[in-house]
Amino acid sequence: GQQLNQSPQSMFIQEGEDVSMNCTSSSIFNTWLWYKQDPGEGPVLLIALYKAGELTSNGRLTAQFGITRKDSFLNISASIPSDVGIYFCAGQLLGSWGKLQFGAGTQVVVTP
Amino acid sequence: DVKVTQSSRYLVKRTGEKVFLECVQDMDHENMFWYRQDPGLGLRLIYFSYDVKMKEKGDIPEGYSVSREKKERFSLILESASTNQTSMYLCASSATGTANEKLFFGSGTQLSVL
């Protein structure tokens, strides 16, 4: 499958800090999505992006679909303890019908 | 509340055993998927199905097979388990049409092959 490069691999942050992570690829994606996995659970969809340049928010989360269609960014503002988990980017290639390529994930740890 | 249910949270099997992982969804979704999750590798697609009795290979199908006899149920089969199949297995489903990229995941099955 296509390679999605997600960084950073892990982050240790203090409560109240902002968090940024990104995903890049050599391929052009039709759709970018961001999922969060809580400990012991399956991933849950946070944000879906469909157009180049699109900026979408979900509460304290903001994600952007890169202009080149080869990257995406997720920002979390004013982190709280429940933000802990693994965040995955996922991309859907044009015509790949529901099949997603996932990044390796960013482990976020929030300390009080 | 929508739900994807995986039959086992933890499984321990021996090398060479035949292993069945079961997944059921209650959302009447057409599409179902099996992924495996390994640290540093993210989620990798094993098999998927877009209809009853239909199946397609994903990126890493070797050593696995699947069965979809009913719309709500998608089974992953390890014909002869090996230690390199120790992993977290995640089942997911999605609707057909414009929302097909929005996956709903189960809680996962942690499989250990000894």
Q: What is the DSSP string of A3-19?
A: -EEEE-SEEEEETT--E
* pLDDT tens profile B1-60: 669 999 899 999 999 999 999 999 999 999 999 999 998 899 999 999 999 989 999 999
Instruction: Decide: helix, strand or coil at residue B83.
Output: helix
Q: What mean pLDDT is reported for chain A?
A: 92
B24 has a chain A CB within 8 A of its CB: no
Question: Which amino acid is it at B30?
Answer: E
How does pLDDT run across B60-95, given as a tens digit for each residue? 999 999 999 999 999 999 999 999 999 999 999 998
Residue of B nearest to A47 (CA): B102
Q: What is the C-alpha to C-alpha distance for residues B38 and B16, in angstroms, rounded to an integer?
A: 21
Q: Is the pLDDT of residue A1 over 60?
A: no
Question: What's the number of CA atoms in the CB half-sphere (13 Å) around residue A65?
Answer: 20
Q: Residue B84: helix, strand or coil by DSSP? A: helix
Closest Cα in chain B, distance from residue A80 (Å):
23
Contacts of B44 in chain A (CB under 8 A): 1, 102
Q: For residue A109, how many C-alpha atoms fall within 13 Å in the half-sphere facing its CB?
A: 5
CB distance A41–B108 less than 8 Å?
Answer: yes
For residue range A59-99, what is the model confidence (pLDDT) as tens digits? Answer: 999 999 999 999 999 999 999 999 999 999 999 887 777 68
**How large a percentage of chain A has pLDDT more than 90?**
80
- Among A1, A98, A102, select the one facing B31 at the smallest CB separation: A98
pLDDT of B1 reads 65
Confidence at residue B93, expressed as pLDDT on a 0 to 100 scale: 94
A39 touches chain B (CB under 8 A): no
φ/ψ (deg, to 5) at A103: -75, 175
Q: CB distance from B93 to chain A under 8 Å?
A: no
Q: Check CB contact under 8 Å for A42 and B106.
A: yes
Quickly tell me which residue has 């659970």 as its tokens.
A41
Sequence-distant (≥ 6) Cβ neighbours of residue B62 within 8 angstroms: none
pLDDT given for residue A24 in this prediction: 96
Residues of B in contact with A44 (CB under 8 A): 105
B48: left (phi over 0), alpha (psi -120 to 50) or beta: beta
- Residue of A73, A86, A72, A92 whose CA lies nearest to A29: A92
Contact in structure between A15 and A112 (CB atoms under 8 Å):
yes
Q: Give pLDDT tens digits for A4-60.
A: 999 999 999 999 999 999 999 998 998 999 999 999 899 999 999 999 999 999 999
